[in-house]
């Protein structure tokens, strides 16, 4: 079979379609849609920053539109999804528990390394805590008071928090549910009773499955981008994908004038041909989370979209270029810009603190109106009836977007 030749635009569209971002949803979301969306992505990264909404909620909103955010916690409490170390801290489908446990048993992720260090230093205390949970039931870190008078920021976790997180990483505890987004920990045997009877995967078996799943989740990828999806090690080369090629699980494709080949999972070959024929196109305009799979690999975002993206919320303010919680703007199959936003729920205002279009983006009135509609929809989901452009937004951009907002609401 001849190698498929795709343009860079085709590759972008295929990637977005695989990620559920090529077209806007046609109907209101259901809880089952949330579960299907997470299964499609394989992972939903967790982050607690909520100047707008927390990242996992934003990732789902970009794909599904408005939905009650408590549905995500309900999926967790019902055991449809679980929390694990993967790309970073992530939600994953519960049917993948053995896969993640198999890899995490010996993985070299910083979260796992830290857990092992804590266990070596606090073994006795950790076993006492585990017995406490066994006898008295699930706990939150807030159930344990600090005795040193220090604050509880992430840099100053109390011992019990460290021990809970370590047992979570090591697999003895799982997150049974969240209360106000705070983790509630319980014994794995109580949260997921089937865990003990599931087959035990070796690290090699788990990594092989994660490699295939990453290619499927991405839709189209280079070999060197595959390992970042689940944060497996090491970075892969083309020769490492030979077994999947030989088995017909993936196909090699050519993207534009790229020197390196790209790969498509066999489940997306028919979709790739539809993209080539122009029967599948990217038509969605939305705001992405800084932790969306589309942009969480800086190299991939740069090569696929020409979008150099760095998450600046962890960068000291004087060194930020675009803002604190900058949301990439997806329009069609392009990342057309980025905006820094804040939801003032008590005032009913969704503030755009900064807005930057990409230098090569073809931004006309139609694009601005589409982005304005996306802003209005996002604001409404955040409980905000007004979108307000800050005076810090460049005057020319502010005037054009103010007009677009009026047109979008007309």
- Span 234-243, mean pLDDT? 96
Environment class of residue 48 by beta-carbon count within 10 Å: exposed (0-12), middle (13-18) or buried (19+)? exposed
The rounded distance, in Å, linking the Cα atoms of 232 and 230 is: 6
- Alpha-helical runs (H) found in 79-218: 97-104, 110-136, 159-170, 188-191, 203-218
Mean pLDDT score of the chain, rounded to an integer?
94
- Please report which confidence band the pLDDT of residue 314 belongs to, taking 50, 70 and 90 as the band edges: confident
The answer to whether the pTM exceeds 0.85 is: yes
Report whether 354 contacts 392 (CB < 8 A).
Answer: yes
Residue 352 pLDDT greater than 50, yes or no: yes
Q: Please count the residues of the chain.
A: 410
pLDDT the model gives residue 261: 95
pLDDT at 152 (0 to 100): 43
Residue 364 CB partners (closer than 8 Å, separation 6+): none
The number of helices, as runs of H, and strands, as runs of E, in the chain is 15, 13
User: How far is residue 83's CA from residue 94's CA, in Å, rounded to a whole number?
Assistant: 9
Mean pLDDT, residues 22-41 taken together: 96
Type and span of the H or E element at 271: helix 269-277
Distances (CA, A) of 266 to 59, 206, 242, 244: 25, 20, 14, 10
pLDDT, residue 153, reads 40
Q: pLDDT tens digit string along 144-202?
A: 865 555 544 433 458 899 999 999 999 999 999 999 999 999 999 999 999 999 999 99
Q: Which of 62-76, 94-108, 146-160 has the highest mean pLDDT?
A: 62-76
Task: Write out pLDDT tens, residues 239-254.
Answer: 999 999 999 999 999 9
pLDDT for 3-27, tens place per residue? Answer: 899 999 999 999 999 999 999 998 9
What are the phi and psi torsion angles at 209 (to 5°)?
Answer: -65, -40
Cα separation, 71 vs 178, in Å, equals: 12
Question: 3-state DSSP call for residue 260?
Answer: coil
Do the Cβ atoms of 50 and 290 come closer than 8 Å? Answer: no
Whether the per-residue pLDDT at 395 is higher than 70: the answer is: yes
């Amino acid at each position: 079979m001849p190698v498929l030749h795709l343009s860079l635009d085709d590759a972008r569209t295929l990637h977005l379609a695989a990620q559920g971002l090529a077209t806007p949803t046609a109907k209101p979301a259901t809880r089952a849609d949330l579960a299907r969306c997470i299964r499609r992505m394989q992972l939903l990264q967790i982050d607690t920053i909520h100047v707008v909404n927390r990242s996992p909620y934003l990732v789902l909103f970009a794909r599904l539109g408005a939905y009650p955010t408590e549905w995500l916690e309900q999926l967790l409490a019902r055991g449809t999804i679980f929390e694990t170390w993967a790309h970073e801290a992530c939600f994953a489908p519960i049917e993948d528990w053995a896969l993640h446990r198999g890899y995490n048993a010996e993985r070299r992720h910083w979260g796992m390394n830290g857990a092992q260090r804590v266990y070596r230093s606090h073994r006795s205390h950790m076993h006492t805590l585990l017995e406490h949970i066994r006898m008295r039931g699930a706990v939150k870190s807030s159930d344990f008071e600090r005795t040193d008078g220090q604050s509880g920021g992430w840099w100053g976790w109390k011992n019990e928090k460290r021990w809970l997180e370590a047992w979570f990483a090591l697999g003895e505890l799982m997150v049974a549910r969240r209360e106000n987004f705070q983790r509630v920990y319980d014994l794995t045997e109580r949260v997921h009773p089937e865990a003990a009877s599931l087959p035990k995967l070796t690290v090699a078996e788990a990594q092989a499955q994660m490699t295939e799943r990453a290619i499927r989740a991405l839709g189209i990828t280079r070999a060197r981008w595959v390992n970042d999806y689940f944060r497996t090690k090491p970075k892969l080369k083309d020769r490492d994908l030979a077994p999947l090629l030989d088995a017909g699980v993936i196909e090699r494709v050519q993207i534009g004038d790229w020197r390196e080949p790209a790969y498509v999972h066999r489940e997306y070959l028919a979709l790739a041909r539809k993209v080539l024929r122009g029967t599948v196109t990217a038509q969605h305009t939305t705001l992405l989370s800084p932790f969306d799979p589309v942009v969480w690999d800086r190299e991939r975002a740069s090569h696929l979209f020409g979008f150099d993206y760095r998450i600046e919320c962890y960068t000291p303010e004087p060194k930020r270029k675009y803002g604190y919680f900058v949301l990439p703007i997806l329009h069609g199959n392009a990342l057309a810009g980025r905006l820094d936003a804040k939801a003032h729920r008590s005032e009913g205002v969704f503030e755009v603190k900064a807005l930057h279009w990409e230098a090569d983006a073809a931004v006309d009135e139609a694009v601005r109106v589409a982005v304005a509609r996306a802003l209005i929809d996002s604001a409404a989901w955040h409980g905000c009836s007004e979108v307000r452009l800050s005076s810090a937004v460049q005057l020319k951009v502010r005037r054009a977007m103010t007009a677009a907002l009026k047109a979008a609401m007309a």
